[in-house]
Structure 1
Amino acid sequence: MTELLAAPSPSPNPPGPRAPRSAGHVVVEALAAHGVERVYVVPGESYLDVLDGLHDSGIQTVVTRHEGGAAYMAEADGKMHRRPGIAMVTRGPGAANAHVGLHTAWQDATPMVLFVGLIPFDHRDREAFQEFDVKAWFDTGAKRVMVLDNAERASEIVAEAMFAASSGRPGPVVVGLPEDVLRHEVHTPAHPPIPVATGGMTARDVDALTRALAGAAKPLFVTGGNDWTPAAAQQLTAWLERHRIPAAAEWRTEGTVPFDSPSYVGPIGYGRPKPTYDLLEETDLLVFVGTVPGDTITDGFVVRQDWSRKNFLVTMDPSLRGRSGAVSYQVVAKPDVFVRDLAGIDLDVRPEWVAWTRRMRAEQERFAALPPATPSPGPARVDTFMANLVPGLPRDAIVTFGAGEHTNWAHRYFPTHGFATMLSARNGSMGYSVPSAVAASLSYPGRRVVTVAGDGEFLMNGQELATAAQYGATPLVVVVDNAEYGTIRTHQERHYPGRISGTQLKNPDFALVAQAFGGFGVRAERDADVPGALAAALRAIDEEHVFALVHLVVEQRTRAY
Structure 2
Amino acid sequence: MRTGVECLLDGLKKAGVEIIYGLPGGSVLDIFHKLYHAPFKFVLTRHEQGATHMADGYARATGRVGCCLVTSGPGATNTVTGLATAYMDSVPLVCIAGQVPTPMIGNDAFQEADTTGITRPVTKHNYLVRNVDDVPRIVAEAFYIAGTGRPGPVLIDLPKDVQRSTTKAATPENVVIRGYNPTTAGHPKQIAKLAEAINKAKRPLLYAGGGAILANAAPEVTQLARKANIPVTTTLLGLGAFPETDPLALRMLGMHGSVTANYATHHCDLLVSIGARFDDRVTGKISEFAPKADIAHIDIDPAAISKSVPVDIPVVGDVKQVLQALIPLVETRERTASPAKEWLEQLAEWQAKYPLTYDQNPAKLMPQYVIEQVYALTKGEAIIVTEVGQSQMWAAQYYKYTQPRTFISSGGLGTMGFGLPAAIGAQMGRPDKIVVDISGDGSAQMNFQELVVAVEHQVPIKIVILNNGCLGMVRQWQEL
TM-score by length of 2: 0.91
Task: Tell me the residue number matched to 1:502.
Answer: none
Cα distance in structure 1, aligned partners of 2:414 and 2:27: 31
Task: Tell me the residue number matched to 2:219.
Answer: 234
Task: Work out which of the residue numbers 330, 333, 336 in structure 2 matches 1:346.
Answer: 330
CA contact (8 A) 1:397 1:416 kept: no
CA contact (8 A) 1:294 1:322 kept: no
Cα distance in structure 1, aligned partners of 2:322 and 2:225: 14
1:24 aligns to 2:11 (yes or no) = no
* Aligned-partner residue type, residue 310 of structure 2: A
Cα distance in structure 1, aligned partners of 2:114 and 2:422: 29
Deviation at 1:399, TM superposition (A): 0.4
Q: Report SS of the residue matched to 2:328.
A: coil
Task: Work out which of the residue numbers 181, 185, 191 in structure 2 matches 1:206.
Answer: 191
Task: Tell me the residue number matched to 1:128.
Answer: 109
Cα distance in structure 2, aligned partners of 1:384 and 1:368: 15
Cα distance in structure 2, aligned partners of 1:109 and 1:322: 18
Q: Report SS of the residue matched to 1:228.
A: helix
CA contact (8 A) 2:58 2:428 kept: no
Cα distance in structure 2, aligned partners of 1:72 and 1:173: 14
* Aligned-partner residue type, residue 191 of structure 1: P
Worse-superposed segment, 130-139 or 360-369 = 360-369
Deviation at 1:300, TM superposition (A): 5.2
Cα distance in structure 1, aligned partners of 2:212 and 2:160: 34
Deviation at 1:304, TM superposition (A): 2.1
Task: Work out which of the residue numbers 359, 370, 392 in structure 2 matches 1:407.
Answer: 392
CA contact (8 A) 1:313 1:330 kept: yes
CA contact (8 A) 1:254 1:422 kept: yes
Deviation at 1:358, TM superposition (A): 5.1
CA contact (8 A) 2:211 2:299 kept: no
TM-score by length of 1: 0.79
| Alignment CA distance shift 1:220-1:95 (3 Å) | same
**Structure having greater relative contact order (Cα 8 Å, sep ≥ 6):** 2
| Alignment CA distance shift 1:226-1:461 (3 Å) | farther
Task: Tell me the residue number matched to 1:282.
Answer: 267
* Aligned-partner residue type, residue 439 of structure 1: G
Q: Report SS of the residue matched to 1:351.
A: coil
Task: Tell me the residue number matched to 2:376.
Answer: 391
1:483 aligns to 2:464 (yes or no) = no
Cα distance in structure 2, aligned partners of 1:331 and 1:313: 6
1:58 aligns to 2:39 (yes or no) = yes
For 1:153-232, list aligned pairs within 5 A. Answer: 153-194=134-175, 197=182, 199-226=184-211, 228=213, 232=217
Cα distance in structure 1, aligned partners of 2:48 and 2:123: 17
Q: How many residues are aligned here? A: 472
Task: Tell me the residue number matched to 2:131.
Answer: 150
CA contact (8 A) 2:299 2:305 kept: no
* Aligned-partner residue type, residue 451 of structure 2: L
Task: Tell me the residue number matched to 2:255.
Answer: 270
* Aligned-partner residue type, residue 276 of structure 1: A
Cα distance in structure 1, aligned partners of 2:414 and 2:306: 16
CA contact (8 A) 1:46 1:178 kept: yes
Cα distance in structure 2, aligned partners of 1:433 and 1:396: 18
Cα distance in structure 1, aligned partners of 2:341 and 2:11: 51
| Alignment CA distance shift 1:404-1:28 (3 Å) | same
CA contact (8 A) 1:45 1:90 kept: yes
Cα distance in structure 2, aligned partners of 1:362 and 1:55: 62
Cα distance in structure 1, aligned partners of 2:424 and 2:158: 27
Task: Tell me the residue number matched to 1:452.
Answer: 438
* Aligned-partner residue type, residue 297 of structure 1: V
1:336 aligns to 2:312 (yes or no) = no
Task: Work out which of the residue numbers 308, 311, 317 in structure 1 matches 2:301.
Answer: 317
1:293 aligns to 2:278 (yes or no) = yes
Give ranges in structure 2 of 5+ residues lacking alignment.
Answer: none
Give ranges in structure 1 of 5+ residues lacking alignment.
Answer: 1-19, 495-561
CA contact (8 A) 1:266 1:364 kept: no
* Aligned-partner residue type, residue 343 of structure 2: W
Task: Tell me the residue number matched to 2:424.
Answer: 438
CA contact (8 A) 1:367 1:412 kept: no
Deviation at 1:361, TM superposition (A): 5.7
1:256 aligns to 2:241 (yes or no) = yes
Cα distance in structure 1, aligned partners of 2:32 and 2:190: 48
Deviation at 1:457, TM superposition (A): 0.3
Cα distance in structure 2, aligned partners of 1:467 and 1:68: 13
Cα distance in structure 2, aligned partners of 1:25 and 1:312: 48
Worse-superposed segment, 87-96 or 356-365 = 356-365
| Alignment CA distance shift 1:405-1:90 (3 Å) | same
* Aligned-partner residue type, residue 83 of structure 1: R
Task: Tell me the residue number matched to 1:83.
Answer: 64
CA contact (8 A) 1:37 1:59 kept: yes
Task: Tell me the residue number matched to 2:453.
Answer: 467
Q: Percent identity?
A: 27
Q: Report SS of the residue matched to 2:78.
A: helix
1:245 aligns to 2:245 (yes or no) = no
